[in-house]
Amino acid sequence: MEKTSGDSPAFTFNQKIIIAILALLQFTVILDFMVISPLGDILMKTLDMTTSNFGFAVSAYAFSAGISGLLAAGFADKFDRKKLLIFFYTGFIIGTVFCALSSSYMMLLMARIVTGLFGGVIGSVSLAIVTDLFVIHQRGRVMGFIQMAFATSQILGIPVGLYFANNWGWHSAFIMIAVLGVLILIAIITQMQPIVKHLEVQSDKSPFLHLWHTLSNKQYQIGFASIAFLSVGGFMLQPFGSAFLVNNIKISHLELPMVFFFTGLSVLFIMPLVGKLSDKISKFKLFAAGSILSIIMILIYTNLNPIPLWEIVVINMILFMGIMSRMIPATTLNTAIPGLEDRGAYMSISSSLQQIAGGIAAVCAGYIVHQKTKTAPLENYDILGYVIAIITLCSIFFIWRVNQLVKSKDAAAKEVKI
C-alpha cells in the first residue's frame, strides 16, 4: 500500500468509499439524536411537556439504544458486519418515520424507544468495521472524518431541521432524516463488500458466553468505564441547549440556526486537524488538552446572562472545539483495546454503556434544571455546568488508564514479533 509521511498509510479507493458511507450513516444517526435538542423548545410547547418529560423523551432513545446494544453484543461477532448494519439501519429508518407521525408526548416517547433499539447498535457495528478495515495508524484520520458527521449534522442538519420545523412543523425534520436514510441504505447494499474475517477466529459457540467473556475481561472494563464517563458530559449539556439560548440568552427561534451553523463550521474545521494530530502525537495529551478547554468553556457558558448573538456564537464555537477534540483520541484509543475475535461485542457493549450513561445524564439534567413557566428562564443551569466539569475531570483519569493499557499492549506485541 502507498505510504504517506510517517507511519500513516494512505487510503485505498475502496477505503475512501467505506469512510464516506460510514460518515453519512453516522450523520443521520447523530442528526436523529441532535435534532431533538434544537426542537426542544418547540416540542415542550406544542406537546405540553415539562423539563423532566423532555429529559425522559431524550433519554428514552439512549436507554433503549443501550439495552439493544447489550442484547446484540453477544451476536455482534457471529454475523457478517454488513448484514448487521443493513438490518439495524432499516429499523432505525422505520423508527424515525414513527417519530414524524407522533401527535402526543407518549407517542413520541414510544417512537424514540423504537428508534433507539435499532440506532443504538449502528455506531458499534460501524466502529467494528473501522477497526477491521483500517490499521491503528489510519484510525485517527478515519475517526476524524466520521466525527465530522457530528459537525456536518450541525452545519446542515440542525439549521435545516429548524428551518423545516419553523416552516412545515417539527414532524418534517424527521421525514427529512428518513428520506436521507433510505438513500444511504441503498449505498450500503450496493457499495459495501461483506465483512467476515472475524468469523474465522471465533472460539465461543454461545453468543451469551461470548458476551460474558467480553464483559468480565478486566482490561475491557477500563475501556467501558472511560467511554461511559466521556458520554455523560455531552448528554447533560445538549438536551436543554436550545431552551437555554431562547429563554435565558434571549436568542430568537430564527437566530438559532445561525448559532448551530457557525458552531458546526468550527467543529468541521478542527476535526480533520485533530484526526491527523491523533495519528502523530500522544492521543492522551490531546484528549487532556481538549478536556481542560471544554471545562473552562462549559463553566463560562452555563453562567451566561443575555449577550449579543456574535458573542454566543464565538463561545459556542470554542466550547464545541474543546468537546469534539476529546472524542477522536478517546475513541481511537478505545478501538486498540479489544482483540479481533471480540471487536463487535466490545464495541457493542461500549456503545451501550455510552448510551445508558448518557440516558441517566439526560434524566439527571431534567431534574437539575427547572423552568417555572414555558417562557421563564431555565434555573440551576450553572449547577449543571459544575457537575459536568467534575465528570469531565474523572474522564481524564479513565482515558489515562486506557492509554497505559494500550502502551503495554503495544510493547507486548513488539516483543512477540522480536
The verdict on residue 3 lying in a domain is no
In a 13 Å sphere around the CA of 359, the CA atoms on its Cβ side amount to: 21
* Residue of 275, 16, 30 whose CA lies nearest to 133: 16
Residues 393-414 pLDDT 10s: 999 999 999 888 888 877 776 6
Res 417 pLDDT > 70 = no
Considering the chain, what percentage of its residues have pLDDT values greater than 70?
89
Output the pLDDT for position 201.
60
Q: Rounded to an integer, what distance in angstroms lies between the CA atom of residue 286 and that of residue 235?
A: 22
Identify whether 8 is part of a domain: no
8 A C-beta contact, residue 350 and residue 46: no
Give CA–CA dist 268/110, Å, rounded. 33
Position 89 scores a pLDDT of 93
Q: Please report whether residue 9 resides in a domain.
A: no
With contact defined as beta carbons under 8 Å apart, do 118 and 58 qualify?
no
Q: Across residues 220-239, what is the average pLDDT?
A: 81
Is 7 a domain residue? no
Model confidence pLDDT, tens digit, residues 77-126 = 677 788 888 999 999 999 999 988 887 788 888 988 999 888 878 877 88
pLDDT at 3: 40
pLDDT digits (tens, 9 = 90+) for 163-221: 777 788 778 888 888 999 999 999 988 887 777 776 666 555 677 777 788 888 888 88
**Would you state the cell numbers that stand for residue 73, as one nine-digit string?**
453484543
For 14-66, what is each residue's pLDDT tens digit?
Answer: 888 888 888 888 888 888 877 776 677 777 777 777 777 777 787 788 788 87
What b/e readout covers 331-353, taking b as 16+ CB neighbours within 10 angstroms? bbbbbbbbeebbbbbbbbbbbbb
418 part of a folded domain:
no
- Residue 6 confidence class, pLDDT cut points 50, 70, 90: very low
Bigger pLDDT: 391 vs 132: 391
Task: End-to-end CA distance of the chain: give it in Å, rounded.
Answer: 23
Residue 120 amino acid letter: G
Q: Is residue 415 part of a domain?
A: no
- Residue 4 has what pLDDT? 40
Burial string for 296-329 (b: 16+ CB within 10 Å, else e) reads: ebbeebbebeeeebeebbebbbbbbbbbbbbbbb
417: in domain: no
- Residue 346 is part of which domain span? 14-193+203-410
pTM: 0.68
Domain at 228, CATH number: 1.20.1250.20
Assigned domain for 99 exists: yes
pLDDT of residue 2: 36
**What's the domain count of the chain?**
1
Which residues is 9 bridged to in the sheet? 3
For residue 1, the model assigns a pLDDT of 35
